[in-house]
Amino acid sequence: MTEPPEAAPTLELRGVSKRFGPVVACDRVDLSVAPGEIVGLLGENGAGKSTLMKIVLGLVPPDAGEIRIGGRARAVRDPIHAAELGVAMVHQHFSVIDALTVWENVRLGGRGGLDAAALRAEVVKLSETYDLVIDPDARIGDLDASQRQRVEIIKCLRRDPAVIILDEPTSVLTLDQSRRLFEVLRRMVADHQRAVVLISHKLEEILHATDRVVIMRQGRVVREMPTAEADPPTLARAMVGRDVSLRAEASALGLLDELAGQAVTEQSRAGEVVLQVTGATAAGSDGRRLLDGLDLELRAGEILGVAGVEGNGQAALTELFSSLLELDSGRVEVDGGTVASGVPGAMAAAGVGVVPEDRHASGCVLDLTVAENLILADPRRVARWGILDRSRISAEARALIERFEIATPSPDVPFRLLSGGNQQKVVLARELSSDPKVLVASQPTRGLDVGAIEYVSGRIRAAAEAGVAVLLISTELEEILELADRIAVIFRGRLIGEMARSGIDLDRLSLMMGGQAA
Amino acid sequence: MTGAGPDSPGGALPAAGAQPDAGSPPPPVRQDSGLVGAVEPASRRLALQTGLFAVFFAGAVVISGGLVASVGGSPTEVLDALLDGSLRSPGAWGRTLVEMVPLALVGLGVVVAFRAGYYNIGTEGQVAMGALGAAVVVLKAPGPAWMLIGLGLAASAAAGGFWAGLAAVAHARRRVDVLISTLLLTFVAPNIILFVVARDYLLLDTTEANTRRASQSERLPDSTHLPDLELFGNTVHIGVLAAVLIVAAVAFLLARSVWGLKLRMLGRNSQTARRAGVRPGVVGGGALVISGAAAGLAGGMFLTGAAFRLQNLIANDFGWHGLLVALVARLNPVGVLPVAFFFASLRTGSGFLTATGISRTVTDVVQALFVVAALLPAAVMVIRDRRVARRLALRSAADAEVG
């Protein structure tokens, strides 16, 4: 520790350890947060941040160590108990109910009667105290992501917690909204002496918003320092455990400004139009418009980044190219030929490869083997008279495993047992090995560690260089800036504007992501 | 294409990721194998399952014994009767093998449908419809006897497949839940048979033997019964051989064919399957029809091999017990055979129980106890697997730290 905290710590962890079988998730972690302080918990995916916080909330029992809250050792039973003790968390994924109003949702999280007037007044009071502007009678379904997050924060503050934990809070926000969130946090800490833990894997956020930074790697706290003394190279080295090039890995490290400032050499490798979507419109089962007259044109060899705040039609767009969504109107053309939407296998047959956002949902079959997952897009290729040729499958799988550097002891291991990065490599290997004309990659690096992120980015770039038209759909601006040649913004089911990567203007992009066509 | 062609996408991978910057230490690797967990050895699973089976089976014996003793019977006599009826008395295991045929076929069909994610629980009705199909052809169609047997069995498979196919079409067209439609169709089937065997212009037995005009068909002529085989003093019909061959063929196709892969894909992850071009209506609906056809064939073989006469309750619980067979075999097609044999011994064995003077209700309870004992190890394994999966999930969550 470089500096003793001024006040008695509100939350203190001493020697907390947790193992999951052979994996040490947390190894003798010490951590303390004092009132009036924002501590950044930095680490790449898999460093043990989330496990640590799950231990604090009572979701995972620790193997060893002590949790002290308000100066007393506590055994936290569950998140409700944690809240009673004064520790509350704002999760990455919201737990609010769309059909209910703000005050109704705020009520759901707590105890007490159902006095509408009192609850409304309470919401108004909280929102005034903390400068979290919100209409208590608004329906959650009508709010945007940052407003929903405000509701989550109000729900959390209603319990009057001494410690607030925020888990990757900016993943659903635009740049501008993130900046405002940090201002609110700052005030909350300064005026009300709360203690805040901010979990993030983005250097920029940590540098921007915290007082002290604690860096975890492989379950251990490897470094701790006042944020004022930290700089990106130091943090990056501590986080990854080796010297990293901030330029080359800016995306994986969450250095947006570094990325935006990078000079881009204009490449004129874009060729013929390979993918054309015209007026794509589709509604969900609840009648809500998922896609609303979306137009899109993609050329061979280029990477088009589709940026946007989560929930604006990205999922539907990926489903469309996975043949899982049928259009109500509009058309998809690949290489000049119309491809029927929603017909199983049609998109794949037309040469559209997809790396889906949630690979477990539509990218692979967990219960099949690695080899089966590698060939499942076109099993006929490795079969004779309808009977699978095992030696051919094995040979093909081995070739792909070697070529795509997939770490697995054998092709016949259940896919379920692979680590996230290796699972993603299997999906990539299968989609790229079928020589696609178009590759649709949705959040391809989500949840991966720095090494795997570099790997996946490299593969996608190489595919584009080889002439594949790449559609990169992502809510992570870093990912888009890293890879895309051209950037379009998706808002409420349509693309509302675009700009070349070379002429990038972050403020304009942020406005567009908020729905203002600029 | 195989291997890394020079022009393949990704063939010219930039240095990123592959090699860390020269001079710096290599990045730490947490799992050399790339795995987040270990595979459990199959031998350990088998040992555990066998152990559980022994424990629960012993439990069933003890409870049945106590029950029989409490109503004044002799537990040892009951156990003797069970064993005599199923295995020990002359010709007993032949009868058990014959009883195994419908159970194995139904169980196999259920495995196919369940593996595709189509929960066909209407096998009892499909067995009945299969028997009806066979009876109609054998009793009404012209032709030599050997041909009638073949056509009759084909008709039984077609009738069972048709009955399950109704549910498949309703699901494909209107999203009608397969679980519900197959179950409800089960209660329609016996009534159709009752209608058919009560009309003299249809299948009602109008011979002089049936003076009271009971609702049943004529007995099938002896020449149209399934041919018998002599096995070490036991008589079995050739259906036993056919069932074993069918089970082996389906097990092979499920594991090794393109069809089997598509079907397993659909059952495990329908979204991935659809993206890869598996049409649920064809593969899944097809699995449903196949499972109905297997159940129908079971009914046809029971009629032409053992019952010889059509009645409305012809299915005789084969459908329900076949479902249990598939579940106890944990949807493993090869496991269907031994499990079906076990269930068949319970059925033939409990036939002998009544001879001990114990009331029918008690023998039913005894039989049910053994069914429960057979099901429990599978249930325990499922619960255990779920725990293991959860531990694995937690572990990989700790590993991947998403959310």
Q: Which domains does chain B have, with CATH numbers?
A: 74-376 (1.10.3470)
Q: Check: CB of residue A441 under 8 Å from CB of residue A460.
A: yes
Measured between CA atoms, the residue of chain A closest to residue B15 is A458
A 36-65 residues with CB < 8 A to B: 43, 45-51, 60
pLDDT value of residue A141: 80
CATH of domain A11-230: 3.40.50.300
Higher pLDDT, A409 or A266: A409
pLDDT at residue A186 above 50?
yes
Average pLDDT, chain A: 85
From residue A381, give the alpha-carbon distance in Å to each of A204, A349, A364, A493. 47, 13, 18, 37
Contacts of B265 in chain A (CB under 8 A): 365, 368, 376
According to DSSP, residue A275 is labeled: E
pLDDT at residue A46 above 80?
no
pLDDT value of residue B28: 34
Domain boundaries, chain A: 11-230, 245-351+436-452+463-518, 358-435
What angle is formed at CA B112 by the lines to CA B111 and CA B115, rounded to 5 degrees? Answer: 80
Higher pLDDT, B10 or A304: A304
B34 to A463: CB separation less than 8 angstroms, yes or no: no
Which of the residue ranges A300-314, B182-196, B359-373 would you say has the lowest mean pLDDT?
A: B359-373
Point out the residue among B37, B265, B268 whose CB comes nearest to the CB of A21. B37
pLDDT in tens, A205-256: 888 889 999 999 888 999 999 999 988 888 888 888 777 766 666 766 767 7
To probe the interface with A, which of B1, B36, B115 has the most A CB atoms within 10 Å? B36
A435 to B275: CB separation less than 8 angstroms, yes or no: no
pLDDT value of residue B1: 35
CATH of domain A245-351+436-452+463-518: 3.40.50.300
Percent of chain B with pLDDT over 70: 86
Interface check B332 vs A, CB under 8 A: no
Sheet holding A72-74, edge to edge: A23-33, A11-20, A64-69, A72-74
B396 to A419: CB separation less than 8 angstroms, yes or no: yes
A417 to B11: CB separation less than 8 angstroms, yes or no: no
Interface check B279 vs A, CB under 8 A: yes
A107 band by pLDDT with thresholds 50, 70 and 90: confident
pLDDT value of residue B24: 37
Point out the residue among B8, B31, B277 whose CB comes nearest to the CB of A348. B277
Higher pLDDT, B86 or B354: B86
| The token pair that represents A100 in the structure block | 């209910």
B34 to A324: CB separation less than 8 angstroms, yes or no: no
A417 to B37: CB separation less than 8 angstroms, yes or no: yes
Interface check B22 vs A, CB under 8 A: no
Average pLDDT, chain B: 84
pLDDT in tens, A347-365: 999 999 999 887 777 889 9
B273 band by pLDDT with thresholds 50, 70 and 90: very high
The pLDDT of A162-169, averaged and rounded, is: 88
The pLDDT of A125-153, averaged and rounded, is: 84
Shared fold status for A11-230 and A245-351+436-452+463-518:
yes
A243 to B274: CB separation less than 8 angstroms, yes or no: no
To probe the interface with B, which of A269, A419, A431, A456 has the most B CB atoms within 10 Å? A419
pLDDT at residue B41 above 80?
no
pLDDT in tens, A377-405: 888 889 999 999 999 999 999 999 999 98
pLDDT value of residue B287: 97
Give exposure, B315-338, as e/b (b: 16+ Cβ within 10 Å). bbebbbbbbbbbbbbebebbbbbe
Enumerate the H helices of B141-231 as residue ranges.
145-174, 178-197
Point out the residue among B2, B13, B34 whose CB comes nearest to the CB of A396. B2
The pLDDT of B359-388, averaged and rounded, is: 82
B396 band by pLDDT with thresholds 50, 70 and 90: low
Cα separation of A302 and A439, whole Å?
Answer: 11
Region of A38 on the Ramachandran plot (φ > 0 left; ψ -120 to 50 alpha; else beta): beta
The pLDDT of A192-212, averaged and rounded, is: 88
pLDDT at residue B123 above 90?
yes
pLDDT at residue A3 above 50?
no
Contacts of B11 in chain A (CB under 8 A): 462, 466
B21 band by pLDDT with thresholds 50, 70 and 90: very low
A50 band by pLDDT with thresholds 50, 70 and 90: confident
pLDDT value of residue B4: 35
pLDDT at residue B22 above 60?
no
Measured between CA atoms, the residue of chain B closest to residue A380 is B258
Point out the residue among A396, A419, A455 whose CB comes nearest to the CB of B31. A419
B39 to A414: CB separation less than 8 angstroms, yes or no: yes
pLDDT at residue B37 above 80?
no
Q: Which of A45-49, B75-79, B81-85, B197-201 has the highest mean pLDDT?
A: B197-201
pLDDT value of residue A479: 86
pLDDT at residue A53 above 90?
no
